[in-house]
Structures are given as C-alpha cells and as structure tokens.
Amino acid sequence: MRRTLRRVGLFFLVVWGAATLNFFLPRLAPGDPVRERLFRMSTTGGYTQQGVEEMVKAYQAEFGLDQPLWLQYLRYLADIAQFDFGYSLTLFPTKAIDLILVALPWTIMLLLVSTLLSFVLGTLLGALLAWRKSPRAMNVLVGPLLALSAIPYYMLGLVLVYVFAFTLHLFPLSGGYTAGQLPGLSPGFLLDVLKHSVLPAASIVLTSMGSWALGMRGMMVTTEGEDYMAFAEMRGLKDRTIFLWYALRNAILPQFTSLALALGHIVSGALLVEVIFTYPGVGSLLFQAIQGFDYFVIYGVVFMVVLAIALATLLVDLAYPLLDPRIRVGGR
C-alpha cells in the first residue's frame, strides 16, 4: 500500500513539475511574448491597434499579470487543475482547451487503433520469429522488419501518398473527411472518415510493427534458455501452451512499458504524419500553433502530453504485479 501511494505521489509530482515549467518558461523569455505576438498580428492587418490593446488587457485581467508572481502562480495552478489554458492568440476569443478537445478525438481514434494494432501484430510476429519451433521461412521477414523499423512515419507516409493516392487514386490525398460533408454519425460520413484514415494509419502501423517485432524477438531469445522453459517441456506440455504461457508471457513485460509510453504519446499525435495528410488531429493543431506563435495552445498540448504519459506509466506500473506474479507490491 505504501509503495502504491508513493507511485501516485510521484505521478502528481511529475504533473506539478510540468505545470510549473509551463508557467515559468514563458516568463524567462525577454519581453512580453503575448504583446509581441499580438502586435505582430496587428501589422498584418488582422487587428487594429485598439483591438490589440483590448486583447492584451484581457490577458492581463485573466492571468493577473499585474499581481505578484507568487499569486500569479497560485492562480495558474488553480486554472490548470480545471484544464483552463487560456485563450488562443490566433483564434481569440476561442479557448485553447476548446481547440484541443476538437482535435483530440481525431488523434485518439487514429493513433489508438494504429498503436494497438501494430503492438499486437508486431509482438506476435516477433515472438514467432524467435520461437525455435517456428518455420525457418519466417526468418525472411527479419530484413523487411528491420527496414520498416528504421523508416520514419512521415517518410513512409509520403511513399504511400504517392503510390496509393496520387498514382493509383485508391485513397484521398489528405484531410480527415471530404470537404463539404456535414460531420455526424451517419454511415456515409463514418465510411468517408475511415477511408481518409487508411493511409495515415498504415504508415504508423507498418513502421511501428517493425520496432515491436524486433524488440519482442530480442526478449523471446532471453527466455529460451530459462529453467522454467525446460521444466515445461519435461512436463510434456503442448507447444502452444509453452509458447503462450511460459515464453510469451514472460518476454512481453518490457513491451508493456513501451506500450504505456506509446499510448501516452497518442495525445500529442503523430505530428509529421498528420501534417503530411492534413489530418485534423492534435499534431496538426500543434504544428499550426507553432507556426502562429500561439503560445497558450502549445502550452496546453504540452501539458496534456505530459499528463497522458504520466498517467499511462502509472497505470502500467500499478498493473505490473498482476501481469507478473514474481513482482510483489511489498518489494519481496
């Protein structure tokens, strides 16, 4: 129980540290980044001088910038606890959290399915490659898997776009759905969204599957010579039982840690993949925020990423004793 509380406490400490960095880093920069960004927007003709001053005053009133730093910090922590990251600079008066919540479902649906699918396929494939009773013909897959694991998401995405979208016209070039369609839960719209997500998902699944397979292959090799494997064979257990419950079960534990980190990174989106395919996810939102110096959207996305990674790591850490009976909460 004490160890569990310590892990939960560490989780809140990490989240607090990320929130603190989000608060102090902008204030270490010379000048006022908000005022500079707003005046830069006014020079392009998007806002009048009076409108910029009103926006600056609104930010000062919202965040209490005329108050002492310690009081600003306490108010900031209270806002962060409510997921209030402030207003978007480029889409004022829209709040940053509203933009994130609009983009988040697109990223979660794309990356959650892609990550889990690549994890399952890659883990099973890697385990079979290391299993000594597998057909030797499977060793031919090691080379392609090694090549896929070395190819970045965006590079494979460009290849898929050129072959299947630009040349063969089998899939759309970009976007999350066809322009002009009204988003909803109708079968036609869902089918259109699925068709637009095939190429982005394929680029993520193929490259990730190679990494998962090679990692699992290395873990499986270490279990081949263990005493419990020899004991299972001496008992005359079936090959399927030995593979699933003795080899795979013990070799897969490090994979779960990597899976937790991968699931945590889902919130940030596959940045370059979403940019290449103009996919309306968090990755595209972050890219647009960086291009437009939209500080509060950037801070909101960064905080959400840290929160997701810390939460995923905490859940896997707490689940380890259930996955492996050798691990005890009491440290015995």
Can you give the pLDDT at residue 44? Answer: 58
Look at residue 132 and tell me if it is in a domain: yes
Can you give the pLDDT at residue 62? Answer: 63
Look at residue 26 and tell me if it is in a domain: no
Decide: 268 and 286 in contact? Cβ < 8 Å. Answer: yes
What's the pTM value of the predicted model, to 2 decimals? 0.71
Look at residue 91 and tell me if it is in a domain: no
For the chain, how big is the Rg over CA atoms in Å? 24
Q: What per-residue string of b and e applies to 23-39 under the rule 16 or more CB within 10 Å gives b? A: beeeeeeeebebeebbe
Closest CA to 120 of 196, 208, 50: 208
Cβ-based neighbours of 295, under 8 Å, separated by 6 or more: 26, 33, 34, 37, 89
Beta partners for 184? none
Determine the structural domain holding residue 125 and report its residue range.
96-323
Q: Pull the structure tokens for residue 106.
A: 């697109």
For every residue of 221-250, which 3-state class applies, written as one string? HHHCCCHHHHHHHHCCCCHHHHHHHHHHHH
Look at residue 277 and tell me if it is in a domain: yes
Look at residue 280 and tell me if it is in a domain: yes
For every residue of 38-72, which 3-state class applies, written as one string? HHHHHHCCCCCHHHHHHHHHHHHHHHCCCCCHHHH
The tally of CA atoms less than 13 A away on the side-chain side of residue 5 is 2
Closest CA to 252 of 115, 130, 136: 130
Look at residue 116 and tell me if it is in a domain: yes
Looking up residue 190, the CATH number of its domain turns out to be 1.10.3720.10
Q: How far apart are CA 130 and CA 215, in angstroms?
A: 11
Tally of domains within the chain: 1
Decide: 92 and 296 in contact? Cβ < 8 Å. Answer: no
Q: Pull the structure tokens for residue 191.
A: 């089918």
Look at residue 7 and tell me if it is in a domain: no
Look at residue 238 and tell me if it is in a domain: yes
Average pLDDT, consecutive stretches of 10 residues, N- to C-terminus, the chain (332 residues): 76 83 71 64 58 69 68 81 78 81 82 83 84 75 79 80 83 74 71 81 82 81 74 76 76 76 61 76 81 77 81 75 59 48
The tally of CA atoms less than 13 A away on the side-chain side of residue 130 is 24
